[in-house]
């Protein structure tokens, strides 16, 4: 698509839903300039879908355990539904 792997990575992170800020770890000027080149890269829907598919992970334990209703009720004292979950609003969950 005419750009480097690091530019694809930074652009992909920038195009994620929600409040996400990519952190670049350049060790020299050339790497910094390469990373900043991602500002000129816009990935299309097909690219984003493919990158999402190959990077998807299952959270597993302890995420699944903590997200279960009985544990959530125990941890939050039955008040979880009253919490303003700003992350869910931004992620579309």
Q: What is the pLDDT of residues 59-86, one digit of tens each?
A: 899 999 988 999 999 998 988 888 877 6
Mean pLDDT of 14-36: 92
Q: How many domains does the chain have?
A: 2
Question: How much is the pLDDT for 83?
Answer: 83
What domain range includes position 83? 59-93
Instruction: Give yes or no: residues 84 and 51 share one domain.
Output: no
DSSP state of 3: S
Q: How many CB atoms lie within 10 A of CB 12?
A: 19
Question: How much is the pLDDT for 87?
Answer: 67
Distances, alpha carbon 43 to alpha carbons 6, 9, 10, 36, 63, in Å? 13, 10, 11, 15, 30
Instruction: Give yes or no: residues 11 and 47 share one domain.
Output: yes
Instruction: Give yes or no: residues 37 and 78 share one domain.
Output: no
- Model confidence at 89: pLDDT above 70: no
Mean pLDDT of 6-34: 93
Instruction: Give yes or no: residues 44 and 8 share one domain.
Output: yes
* Cα–Cα distance measured from residue 14 to residue 32, given in angstroms and rounded to the nearest whole number: 16
Question: How much is the pLDDT for 81?
Answer: 84
């Amino acid at each position: 698509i005419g750009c480097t792997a690091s530019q694809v990575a930074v652009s992909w992170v920038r195009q994620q839903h929600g409040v996400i800020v990519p952190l670049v770890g350049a060790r020299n000027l050339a790497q910094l300039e390469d990373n900043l080149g991602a500002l000129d890269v816009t990935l299309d829907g097909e690219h984003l879908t493919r990158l999402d598919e190959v990077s998807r992970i299952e959270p597993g334990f302890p995420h699944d355990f903590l997200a279960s209703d009985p544990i959530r009720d125990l941890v939050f004292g039955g008040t979880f539904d009253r919490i303003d979950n700003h992350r869910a609003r931004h992620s579309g969950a």
